[in-house]
């Protein structure tokens, strides 16, 4: 049976936490309870700082529970590209930081006795077809140049035909939510204040403090705020430097399992595969089929394509779980971690691509070092205030032309002419009563209308058929069909419209 939820949420239970129930002050406030927020709170607490963390939903409810759980220092946009766009020294520092992040996860797991199945296993990057070989060779050379423990492989332990590959030693896998929940529990035991169901709706800097207004009417005041919300909340110049993409994952029983390892290929978008355990059985977690958020309505087709991929390579027996999540692709390949542009006491961390478990942990180190005034060699390299025109120009122009195109085109277009064109279970943008509206027709035939203008930067949201959500094609804001916020950056919900049905 397919359950449309992430594998990681099955058989795991978050620590019991309450919402904020009064206005309070703290030294450092972390907003967001994913891997970035919880790890940052942990490292700051270890450094002796007073930390409070708020999470809008439940811990790990964001992309951290949509992941596939690979821990790899292999760089998502490839090291050969990084060396070309920056230089070898930068690439080496990135590799070292990502390796150190995985070591941190291993160390915390051992130190805090976290039961999260952390295991060192090999990683494999492979070419499935001949015309991917040249890129594979370039990446092999670059991998050795940055210092990776890599080996050329003529054969791969996969149950289907491939060309060559690279074996990376000492990668790792773990159960991400068991790790996150265990770490949060330790934080609470050591005196940090953690709250859930507590959404920030405004973050404003004052003289020497930051004021955070909450949806429930209370206010939190901190000396420093870390926005660990995957994308910075509200309007932030960094949003023009990262582009939102959705990626699809399935956990499935298959006929032919590969050897234990992390696998990813060289297609664009690429597929990624690892093994996991479910009810005492070996299963496979496979992901891929990415597309830009809000720019594909028939997202059921993405699940179908992934299912077809799994069947053709591994022999599909049963899909146990299927889910999707968002990644933010930075225009120059590197994430943005550090002080938010034009702010004194607000920090951000975003643009991790598909390596956010490693980057989220590296970000926790960088932000802790920045806040506690310790040196960190990555501060300038990943600074949100950096300027690398050469590396970013092409993708910056491409992504922002795409945003401008949707800003204009989507205002002028509708998916249907009348309410009757919307089938039960479907959503469409229509023009009704002289207004453009986002209308969802529920299973009972009742219509639910929303103002389709995204509360972030006023683009028009688009229907996502598989998730039954309204997704913004510009900066990745997402909303439920009732209009509630799902993914940052928007701070506010979509406004309901009182629909008159003739």
Tokens of 231: 């994308």
Q: Parallel, antiparallel, or unpaired for β 316-330 and 200-205?
A: unpaired
Residues in the chain: 502
What's the closest the beta carbon of residue 156 comes to ligand FAD, in angstroms? 19
Q: How far is 183 from 177, CA to CA, in rounded Å?
A: 10
Query: Three-state DSSP class for 367?
Result: helix
Q: How far is 72 from 122, CA to CA, in rounded Å?
A: 9
Residue nearer to ligand FAD on the CB measure, 102 or 429 = 102
What's the closest the beta carbon of residue 428 comes to ligand FAD, in angstroms? 26
Q: How far is 320 from 474, CA to CA, in rounded Å?
A: 32
What's the closest the beta carbon of residue 250 comes to ligand FAD, in angstroms? 10
What's the closest the beta carbon of residue 200 comes to ligand FAD, in angstroms? 4
- Helical ranges in 169-263 per DSSP H: 176-189
Q: How far is 133 from 135, CA to CA, in rounded Å?
A: 5
**Binding site residues, ligand FAD, CB under 6 A:** 31-37, 54-57, 61-64, 66-70, 199-200, 228-230, 233, 247, 249, 287, 325-327, 352, 354-358, 360, 488
Whether the Cβ atoms of residue 120 and residue 174 lie closer than 8 Å to each other:
no
Q: Which residue has the tokens 């229509």?
A: 430
Other CB atoms within 10 A of residue 95 CB: 21
Q: Which residues contact 499 (CB under 8 A, 6 or more apart)?
A: 432, 433, 437, 439, 447, 448, 449
What's the closest the beta carbon of residue 380 comes to ligand FAD, in angstroms? 21
Residue nearer to ligand FAD on the CB measure, 199 or 365 = 199
What's the closest the beta carbon of residue 228 comes to ligand FAD, in angstroms? 5
Residue nearer to ligand FAD on the CB measure, 66 or 449 = 66
Q: How far is 23 from 196, CA to CA, in rounded Å?
A: 15
What's the closest the beta carbon of residue 173 comes to ligand FAD, in angstroms? 9
Q: Which residue has the tokens 């520092």?
A: 93
Tokens of 304: 């179908």
Give which of 343, 352, 108 is closest to 229, Cα–Cα.
Answer: 352
Query: Three-state DSSP class for 411?
Result: helix
What's the closest the beta carbon of residue 302 comes to ligand FAD, in angstroms? 11
At residue 9, φ and ψ (nearest 5 deg) are -80, -20
């Amino acid at each position: 049976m397919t359950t449309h939820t992430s594998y990681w949420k099955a058989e795991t239970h978050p620590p019991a936490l309450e919402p904020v129930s009064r206005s309070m002050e703290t030294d450092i406030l972390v907003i967001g309870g994913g891997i970035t927020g919880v790890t940052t709170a942990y490292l700051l607490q270890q450094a002796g700082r007073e930390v409070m963390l708020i999470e809008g939903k439940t811990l790990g409810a964001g992309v951290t529970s949509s992941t596939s759980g690979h821990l790899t220092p292999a760089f998502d946009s490839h090291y050969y590209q990084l060396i070309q766009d920056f230089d070898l020294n930068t690439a080496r520092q990135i590799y070292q930081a990502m390796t150190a992040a995985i070591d941190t996860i291993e160390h915390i797991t051992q130190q805090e006795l976290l039961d999260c199945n952390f295991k060192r296993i090999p990683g494999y990057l492979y070419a499935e077809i001949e015309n991917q070989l040249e890129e594979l060779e370039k990446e092999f050379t670059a991998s050795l140049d940055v210092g990776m423990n890599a080996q050329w492989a003529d054969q791969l332990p996969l149950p289907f035909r491939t060309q060559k590959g690279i074996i990376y030693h000492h990668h790792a896998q773990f159960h991400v939510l068991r790790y996150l929940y265990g770490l949060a529990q330790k934080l609470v035991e050591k005196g940090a204040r953690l709250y859930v169901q507590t959404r920030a709706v405004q973050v404003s800097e004052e003289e020497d403090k930051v004021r955070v207004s909450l949806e429930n009417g209370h206010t939190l005041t901190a000396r420093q705020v870390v926005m660990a919300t995957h994308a910075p909340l509200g309007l932030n110049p960094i949003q023009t430097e990262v582009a939102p993409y959705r990626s699809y994952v399935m956990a499935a029983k298959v006929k032919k399992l590969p050897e234990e390892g992390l696998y990813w290929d060289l297609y664009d978008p690429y597929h990624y595969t690892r093994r996991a355990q479910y009810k005492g059985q070996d299963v496979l977690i496979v992901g891929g089929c990415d597309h830009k958020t809000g720019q594909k309505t028939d997202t059921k087709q993405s699940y179908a394509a992934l299912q077809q991929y799994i069947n053709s390579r591994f022999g599909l027996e049963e899909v146990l779980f299927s889910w999707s999540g968002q990644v933010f692709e930075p225009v120059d390949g590197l994430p943005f971690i550090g002080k938010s542009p034009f702010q004194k006491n607000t920090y951000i961390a975003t643009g991790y691509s598909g390596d956010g478990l490693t980057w989220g942990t590296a970000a926790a180190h960088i932000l802790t070092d920045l806040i506690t005034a310790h040196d960190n060699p990555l501060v300038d390299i990943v600074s949100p205030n950096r300027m690398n025109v050469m590396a970013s120009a092409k993708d910056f122009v491409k992504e922002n032309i795409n945003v401008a195109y949707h800003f204009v085109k989507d205002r002028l277009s509708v998916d249907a002419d009348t309410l009757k064109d919307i089938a039960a279970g479907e959503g469409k943008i229509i023009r009704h009563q002289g207004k453009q509206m986002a209308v969802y027709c529920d299973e009972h035939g009742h219509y639910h209308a929303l103002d389709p203008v995204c509360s972030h930067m006023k683009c028009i949201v688009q229907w996502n058929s598989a998730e039954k959500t309204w997704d913004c094609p510009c900066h990745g804001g997402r909303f439920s069909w009732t209009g509630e916020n799902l993914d940052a950056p928007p701070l506010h919900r979509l406004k309901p419209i009182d629909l008159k049905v003739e």
